[in-house]
Amino acid sequence: MKTYEKIERFASKSSTFNQRSGTNLKTLDTKNVSRLQTDHILEASIYTSQMIWPATHDETRPGTVILYPKHSWTTGLASVNFVHHPNNGPVFYFEPDGVPEEVLIEIERLQPKGNSEGIQIMLMGDVSERVYSQVSSYKVQSLEADTDAQFAYKVDEEYARLTDEYPESILIVSSEDDAKLFSLVAGYWIAHMPEPILYVNRNDIPKETIKAIKKRENPNMYIVGPETIISKQVEEKLSAMGNVSRIPGSNPVEFSVQFTMFKDNESGFGWGIDKPGRGLSFISTSQPEMAIITSPFSHLGKHCPLLWLYQGKLDDSIYHFLAKIKPTFKETPQEGPYNHSYLIGSTETISYETQGIIDNMLEIVPEDGEGHH
């Protein structure tokens, strides 16, 4: 059977559903899907922390915990760069009136070891005296700025100082609210690899972003979003400062799929996922900020990219992508490879029916389509 025929077969949608499948459930995990059963960002951040960092011994304790202001997704997204080594830590938010008690309890459980400079907590953005006092028993570093572009510049500068180099690849993302679903897809990558994000607007490039780009010699820049989000005019200006590629995708779901498959073989940038044996993370477009606090799923464990589910539902681009990476075996399913995913959100946000479809599409099957031998 030809490859495209296999993909079409695996991408076919079921037409019969069992209406009682979600009744009397004792677990919301299925064989190929682990679910974070919550719609609360605070709970999801703690679930993520506990899944990624058991903290049972030194090797599973984080280095540095990152705290960002809940009201600013742009600050949170840029901060995700510090999830990566040498910090190696989870992301939580704080409120204007302080750090939630549940977060303080989780930090106490984690017993962060500190990064290469002993920093246990990084405070991002505008921080109140109350927040400082709540974490005063830890070694703390703060990073603040007047604008989104300036903040991303400072994150890039600080990460380069910690690691003694400026990464040659950069993600160019928009800080405007209508770009949020595109821009947040980049967060899972910068938690996975040391490349930073730098902010632009639809039609212009802030001076701090230009300054950061010029710290590199002929950098590789990857534009996150279509021309309706980051204009052709901005792309042309960037091209005068280095190599520019625009990752395709006209809507956020399609873009998340294209970003997951994208690979620049010359620079090494990009997930390049087009074969089975992968981890994935699914989040509903109705809960975009979940992408910030669950970004550690791309950093350790199964190193997952982010895929959006439009209002919690699968669309054709997701069906075809999952069909493309459907695992198959020749002799026995024990051979692998296996796919696995995390599903972020309650069954009210992403239905159990949708989970069942994803679980089945991730399942390993015989190459010849004849059933287990």
The answer to the question of residue 352 being in a domain is yes
For residues 134 and 120, what is the distance between their CA atoms, to the nearest angstrom?
A: 13
75 occurs within a structural domain: no
Residue 73 belongs to some domain of the structure: no
Is 4 part of any domain? yes
Length of the chain counted residue by residue: 373
Distance CA 301, CA 44 (A): 17
Q: Is the residue at 167 inside a domain? A: no
Distance, C-alpha 246 to centroid of its chain: 19
Which runs of consecutive H residues, i.e. helices, occur in the chain? 3-10, 41-52, 73-79, 101-110, 129-134, 148-163, 180-183, 185-192, 207-213, 232-239, 252-261, 290-293, 316-324, 352-362
* Residue of 256, 205, 247 lying closest to 227 (CA atoms): 247
The number of distinct structural domains making up the chain is 1
Instruction: Identify whether 13 is part of a domain.
Output: yes
Counting Cβ atoms within 10 Å, is residue 203 exposed (0-12), middle (13-18) or buried (19+)? exposed
CA end-to-end span of the chain: 18
Range of the domain at 1: 1-41+273-373
Phi/psi region, residue 216 (left: phi>0; alpha: psi -120 to 50; beta: rest), is: beta
Global pTM?
0.94
Which pLDDT score is estimated for 320?
A: 94
Instruction: Report d(CA 294, CA 191) in Å as an integer.
Output: 10
Q: Within a domain: residue 106?
A: no
> Which is nearest to 77 in space by CA: 209, 205, 189, 231?
189
Residue 359 domain flag: yes
- Cα–Cα distances (Å) from 302 to 251, 277, 351, 356, 361, in that order, read 26, 10, 23, 20, 18
* pLDDT tens-place values along the chain, 373 residues long: 556 566 666 766 777 888 888 888 888 999 999 999 999 999 999 999 999 999 999 999 999 999 999 999 999 999 999 999 999 999 999 999 999 999 999 999 999 999 999 999 999 999 999 999 999 999 999 999 999 999 999 999 999 999 999 999 999 999 999 999 999 999 999 999 999 999 999 999 999 999 999 999 999 999 999 999 999 999 999 999 999 999 999 999 999 999 999 999 999 999 999 999 999 999 999 999 999 999 999 999 999 999 999 999 999 999 999 999 999 998 899 989 999 999 999 999 999 999 999 999 999 999 876 555 4
Residue 337 preceded by cis peptide, ω within 30 = yes
Residue 110 and residue 53 in contact, taking contact as beta carbons nearer than 8 Å = yes
